[in-house]
Structure 1
């Protein structure tokens, strides 16, 4: 079975037979029949099937290669004008002439076969592509750009191959840069286009100037923000609700600003407004007046905080930090720092009460030329303790055992202030007694005599002691 053979002639109809190996028996006729056998093999004809992906190819298409589904190793041929590789069947499209071609694939061997495929090389027919930027990137570094590619001519549908590997007609969500697209139509015609997505320069906000508060607790601070890049105009939103690039009347603190450009891009920065430490001052008495009425007092003012240098104005018109050689009294100074901040301080210079010395005689000399006089100096005011310097070299407050005369004393207090006093110790005139007889005794042994003593000098009253007692 499977072999188509004429039983009379033994002729084999090969085309009607099934490929395979067969045993054929020949038997003679007659009274003495005999038979013999022979083996024959029917080989299958080669399968020469092949195909190309497209039946029409654009002249601008890439080379096309066939898919062989039959026996490989055959040869390819075509009508004139087609540039084809005889071994592989690859067609060099760009080297071929537009037209319709019949391509033949022929196998080699004892049962060779061939098959044909028709393929048309088309001209590009004005096929072109364009790329249009729909939207550039709004903020530097963003990725919201969009480009649309379109094709004119050719055979739809179209395939798109972008430089960023996208395969759609529209690419979006892209960053700034140059993009190229190759559009291929349904028959392989290709066209290219380019488009550029731009972006604004980076939006940057920076504080270009700032002014610190001049005096503690004040509101003289100011700041200005400068903006570069982005897309003008800009809006400003400060943390203190200000909406201008420059803000004034600021107290100490940190202020932030959010800058928004026309595309809604934002940038922020901050500035710290400082203030000096609180300006304070103290005025201290360096020295009080040593002696009542003198001008040797001293006061010094010392500021802290604020901003140096400082200026000074006292209520006595002096302009130095220290006052020297001043009288007793209260001194007030106004201190102004470099920013015009002021503070005041006062100090009172005191003085002792007036040093006063008064001499008094405790006892005059009792007898002329005697030395039992005594005097004292009484001191008030000044600053105790006191020292004494008498004209007789005595150094005590009271002098005793002195003769008649005038004595001066210099009193010096603890501050060296001095005051003089004097005292005069007197003595009586010389005591003199002169006797005189008023009447002699008239008769011997009588007792009617009388005498008188006359006294001058000394100090009355006198007492008398006669020798007859």
Structure 2
């Protein structure tokens, strides 16, 4: 019920019927305004207006004066009920109760995070919202839900918005949660749904019922009270037999109360015409079932009409312990409240039963069945009716658990109405029920002591309670189950719980703790039975009972508390050491200890350092002989004689240890250093160098700081070994490197100095025409090398012969590189001149060629193969028919065109070429065409045909020349490809 009392619901119902009420409840209009009140004296403001008749109802363009709901809740923590309301414009408004818990007075007030709410500001005319207050996360403050057709971002895809209260019960702060509550976010429920939260399946969390658009939708909470998760239920799984049976309401808000006191929640709402209706839950506490009809209320709420699209909520606003009703209307905006008026219908005589119990301490369930009517509780007493109150129940049929005492307890049950004063409790019917019960056995027993040594006599318990029971204990204790006698010798020393259990009708048991103490364990030991006089002082290990004392025969110096033997101050001899415990059961044990004098391990070598090629040194032993030698790793030493094998030892510093082999061995050491003969390793990067190479520097991988030497002819730096190649005579030399350490050493490397090869070569000329004979180079230096040149020059890499015809005219650098041990290279520059491009164009009497800068021209009579006198221009006017060509010379390179036959008096004058320029088809108009050839700007034929319609789309853009041969002669025309 506490959960439900925290669920304060909005009620905006349209077109539904509210359920009928019990005959002990009536309702009376108290304050606010009604549209019609045929059962009362007025429609407002009423005898207790409570501020509702003068409440500041906004009539701004935001709300349009329409506040369509009233939702009760204590929003300022002052123990009276405030309320909030939605509006047509998408806003939420707060009305604070500044009266008292018994005399409400509501005034418009401010909660900042409510004042700023405005759902879908762009659509104010149909933007009703249905706010609802409920503690959905069980944190003792009220959260806010809003049923709307618009989400917070203004989209029509989210009917339920959630605002978590991140403030306190006294100062709420409502924070929008974009993801909402699991199962309720981004869902379509109804247009402006009203929301009712209630625990319909009695699982301690709140389920949800949504009403709107003439339809009911049920959401089951499958989470927990702190973390709700809602699952939309199908109509088949819904407690409502017909979820579409709400056509008399458009935008209602469902409310759930148990006014009929049958232990389950019924549903209350308002229909579109402004009247209250309810539907009875005919199911159970865990399996609700709601069926028609929609029932009427009692009293003035039966026909009290507040206006269209109204809502209702319930709460005790006048402090009389009964829930009152507050109504809100959509159009026009008005509020009203009704007091619940008790009707004094006495409770019926209840039928009381109880489950039987056998022994004291068992629980019996009392079941009370009857009609409470005006009574608010069934009260359960002991001693007398009205004596000691054990508790109450609040539903007609209810249960109550009791624990009777022997030989039995009588319980008294009657209906009570609290402060309503309808029931005279002094004369009210009180039903008695007596529950008999047996007393529990007395299991009292005891042993004489709680602690026993393992060698004590076996103890027996004294039973002062109910005899004839049995004894038991935790594992390890040997005990007689009938007598309780403990067999100490066969019990493991430990602490045990001994339990005595009676065997009567109502058995009981009691415990006593018993400790079996083991006789002290005096076990101890030293790590050895004998010690040398120079050993570390030995400490005994006590594996038994600690805290005892040590003693020994005379001559041994021993600590009586720790047992540590002072070897240096003890006389070498044989002793008996005794350890005696000091516990409850003391014990002692002995160990024999012998003290032995230590050996003398003195020895020495003649020197402390040796070269690796010295004679092997032997030590002199001046102490106890017969011991063994060893050293740190790397020294080759004879373990019996101590002779060091220098040749097989790794040069380093070692510690040689001589250890005697007596009973009390001793050892001494001497540091010996083995010095390695110097490492004269060195090398040059190569065994031979050319006379033009960089001066080589040797790498000394052995001992540095030595000197270099060589025979005459090689110039070498004696300190660094750098060879001055330029000043050295080409020859083969032996270079020697000699170290300068304690044990010097030397090594050699053979070095050869080679003379660099001669790469001289030349061509007969520096430039050539592309139609000349291929030039061959003359190599005057070292032969057998290879040639290379810039890209575009066709050259034989082995001979250097240039293929002028296959080379692109240009200037090139040709390099010749020898192939010997000391290669060399040289280069010459060669220019290849192109032949001038020749293409003749004729217009019957005059022929011409392309004009080239720096060119000279000479026209040729092809019939006589001789120059035409004085014709040295780019054009030539023909005086007689014949065959003609032209020689063009540039840079000393001459090129001749093809011969063109000229017949002035023939049909060539009718020649037509169109379109020109063109990028596709061209057409030639000329009779008796034998052949058509097209040449590029370099005089190379790129196309040939006998057709007079030609597709030139495959040619690249540029200038071309067309040669047309007919039966009457040949003509040439310029052609442009776009």
TM tier, smaller? 0.3 to 0.5
Normalized against structure 2, the TM-score is what? 0.20
| Structure number, greater radius of gyration | 1
Point out the structure with the larger strand share: 1
Normalized against structure 1, the TM-score is what? 0.37
Q: Which has the higher contact order (CA 8 A, sep 6+)?
A: 1
